[in-house]
Chains A and B, each alone.
Chain A
Amino acid sequence: MKKLMTGNEAVARGVFEAGIKYAAAYPGTPSTEILENIAGNYKEDIVSEWAPNEKVALESTIGFSIVGGRAFASMKQVGMNVAADPMFSVAYTGINGGLVIVTADEPGIHSSQTEQDNRYYAKAAKIPMFEPSDSQECKDMIKEAIEVSEMFKMPVIFRMTTRICHSKGIVSLGEREEVEVKEYKKNIWQYTTMPAVSKKLRVELEEKLVNVKKYSNKSKFNIEEINDTKIGVVTSGISYQYAKETFGDSASYFKVGFSYPLPIDRIKEFSNKVDKLYVIEEIEPYMEEQLKANGIECIGREKLTNIGELSVAILKSAFLNIEEDKIKTNKEKIVPRPPALCAGCPHRPVFYELQKRKDIVVSGDIGCYGLGAVPPLSAVDTIICMGTSISGGHGMAKAFETYGIQKKAVSVIGDSTFFHSGMTGLLDVVYNKSKTVTVILDNRITGMTGHQDHPGTGYNAIGEEAPEANIELIVKALGIKHVKSLNPFDMEDLNKTLEWALNLEEPSVIISRWPCALKKMSKSDINEFGDYFTKFEIDKDKCIGCRMCTKCGCPAIRFDKETNKASIDDTMCLGCSTCAQICPKDAIHEVKNNK
């Protein structure tokens, strides 16, 4: 059977067909849909879990693998930074049941912090790596990857990029292969990393790699394609598709599908068959550097930048000097569509209240609430990575104290991010005594990536009820003495609570608890928060055109310059009342008889 599938769907299918029994992930664009598809389509055959973070996801798959099961972890590229610690170690210990680790990289930085090229992780950690170039290969290579993993007793990295993850192509489906659990034998000289053991494993790792190199030179996914031999192209992943589209049959190709260790011998042979060799790869010159180090003459970075995505147009321009005739447009005419917090977003009142205070620095974090940094809210000062809001805020508070600066640090973090990397930072705040205010934006879901459950939602990845982690009890257990939970849409209470917290001489936590405006409410959500949707409208006679309501950045609020009046789009308004509480003329009120 043939089906049109995204790379992510095809990977999930590959995980199913490969007889993998256990999959764990933390949501992150562009990798999220892999675990969603496994949990949604194959939950009868595969234990699927959202882990609190990528490190935990990988560690639990390592445990599953060591005692004999086939396991799979997926993460976005920066997630691999979080999981790097266990990943480098498991390269030494090796595995028992097959273990495949997906990294979904983001050339072009569509929804990430960095444009890092995680192929270097494979090289640095010495872990074999696959790189699919379309959906069919996503599925086929997962099956090969699990075999390679068990053949060499090593974990395998599976490197995707946004265009591979989110593009659809035709995939031929196969059957699931059921695999018995492997026998686990206790062996501390294999599965521990005490220095004496690691010294031994270090040597074994190099020995394994000699054999993996031989495999690489024979792998069916390292493919030579001879056409016209004036130009030869060494390429991998999505770049192969762009290269094929650009040169067609006027060039020969070496498509690298197994890219660590590189099949250097075969690339050398290929280079001898062509007059001129190009290396076409996105972001960093990972292959080019190794080719040049091995004495293979090639052209790559001389013609291509290491910034952003490649495209057919970029290759045509760089290698064939072809510039397509574009239809000319006047860019100034086009008004941008910047993303904004949704109408009814529970983060909005928090940022609105924070931006009024000039004596604070707001340490932000990763999630939709990054939008609290942009106008008109402009409340957030810094965003670094998952969890830095709290630990970075701690450092800011220490600096203010050390240098006698009259400012306070406010850390703002989401619920899922708090579970991911916030708890250890908060422990540091308590232990090392900084006077930070931490605001936990508990919107009852992982919002940014499209609503995945987490330990605080009361449900797990396959929709079963699960124990609900209580943030208030957690922060108290970490040693925070001053904790208040509140409804952010009661802005008077929010304001007073912020004032209370900012005047304390000890660290505090404010839990702003209200569901994401887009969340499909669970039964317990409805019990707690009610079915609160109403609509608000603006009394034209009372509106003085001061535009205060537009300062909260709600996409449902319109302003007509001709009449100098604001209005509310009734198809978007969810009745959160933020604008009504901001309006100085009391011109905004609930629409009566509107359910």
Chain B
Amino acid sequence: MNESKSILLVGVGGQGTILASKLLTYGLLESGYDVKMSEIHGMSQRGGSVSTQIRFGDKVYAPTIGYAEADLLVSFEEMETYRWLEYLKPTGKVILNNYRLPSAPILAGSADYPEGIIPEINEKVDATVLDATKIAKDLGNPKATNVVLLGALIKTMGLMDMDWESIIKANVKPQYVEGNIKALYKGMELM
């Protein structure tokens, strides 16, 4: 009944999930799709778990993604992948950045970072594990992790033909344009 596709991007406040989502929605919009995007504001700047939800198709109604509804889960942080896994369709795909950002209770020594997440996810669903943060660092800008992951996502979705360079130019500060374009192509190469 519903032909719309649902993509969930998750991470930790400050990782750039929102910018990546924004760039993706502009690309989808230019491809002629109906697009909706939803995010929860509030305390995300303060190191909380963040998610942006993107839905596209001929006609999209709900702007949000519920349990077992996402076709793709792109995660910027290891544990966040696991937190949001229930939102993925059992047949859905995961793109996972194997980067750990310990949360406050872990940093304060009152909890441990969970082990064995990646093998468990690999066992349960079709997952691609990337070292996007290292790749971005090697390109000279660790903050471009989000765009590396966006590149990987775009390739997975088969949207490489869009004019992503113009979209980046229109939405990123001039000094970061070149680095982000490089990061995007590098991300595409990974898939």
Contact = CB atoms under 8 A, between A and B. Distances in A.
Contact of A327 (B25, B38, B46, B86): B86
> Which 3 pairs show the lowest CB-CB distances between chains A and B?
A167-B63, A324-B68, A559-B109
A410 interface: no
Given A4-B35, A327-B86, A547 B109 contact: yes
Interface stretch (A117-125, A242-250, A284-292, A438-446): A242-250
Given A337-B47, A555-B104, 14 more contacts: A4-B37, A163-B64, A166-B39, A168-B35, A168-B36, A248-B2, A327-B85, A327-B86, A329-B85, A335-B79, A338-B103, A342-B45, A450-B41, A558-B107
Q: Which of B60, B67, B105 has the most CB of A within 10 A?
A: B67
Contacts of B83: 334
Contacts of B62: 238, 241-242, 244-245, 311-312
A501 B41 CA distance: 38
A518 interface: yes
Given A163-B64, A326-B86, A342-B46, A550 B103 contact: no
Interface in B73-132: 79, 82-83, 85-86, 88, 90, 102-109, 111-114, 117, 124-125
A180 interface: no
Interface of A: 2, 4, 29-30, 110-111, 134, 162-163, 166-170, 238, 240-242, 244-245, 248, 311-314, 324-329, 333-342, 368, 376, 450, 518, 547, 550, 553, 555, 557-561
Contacts of B63: 134, 163, 167-169, 238, 241
B49 to A, nearest CB: 5
Given A242-B62, A244-B61, A560-B109, A333 B90 contact: no
Nearest to B94: A327
Q: Which of B38, B48, B82, B102 has the most CB of A within 10 A?
A: B38
Contacts of B112: 335
A333 B106 CA distance: 12
Nearest to A337: B103
Given A242-B62, A244-B61, A559-B107, A313 B41 contact: no
Contacts of A340: 46-47, 104
Given A169-B35, A324-B69, A555 B61 contact: no
Contacts of B90: 325-327
7 contacts: A248-B2, A334-B83, A337-B48, A340-B46, A376-B108, A555-B46, A557-B107
B174 interface: no
A313 B67 contact: yes
Given A4-B25, A326-B67, A550 B109 contact: yes
A314 B69 CA distance: 12
A555 B111 CA distance: 14
B44 to A, nearest CB: 9
A131 to B, nearest CB: 16
A527 to B, nearest CB: 26
Nearest to B49: A337
B157 interface: no
Contacts of B85: 327, 329
Contacts of B60: 169
Nearest to A550: B108
Contact of B41 (A30, A238, A338, A553): A30
Given A558-B107, A559-B108, A313 B69 contact: yes
A339 B47 contact: yes
A582 B104 CA distance: 19
Contacts of B188: none
A242 B64 CA distance: 9
B42 A4 contact: no
Given A311-B64, A326-B67, A326-B86, A169 B36 contact: yes
Nearest to A329: B85
A550 B111 CA distance: 14
A391 to B, nearest CB: 27
A550 B105 CA distance: 10
Given A326-B86, A334-B79, A166 B68 contact: no
B35 to A, nearest CB: 6
A162 to B, nearest CB: 8
Given A327-B88, A329-B86, A334-B83, A166 B40 contact: yes
Q: Which of B46, B49, B124, B125 has the most CB of A within 10 A?
A: B46
A335 B107 CA distance: 11
B117 A163 contact: no
B157 to A, nearest CB: 18
A312 B108 CA distance: 38
Contact of B66 (A110, A238, A312, A338): A312
B162 interface: no
Contacts of A312: 62, 64, 66, 69
A339 B47 CA distance: 6
A521 to B, nearest CB: 17
B64 to A, nearest CB: 6
Contacts of A324: 66-69
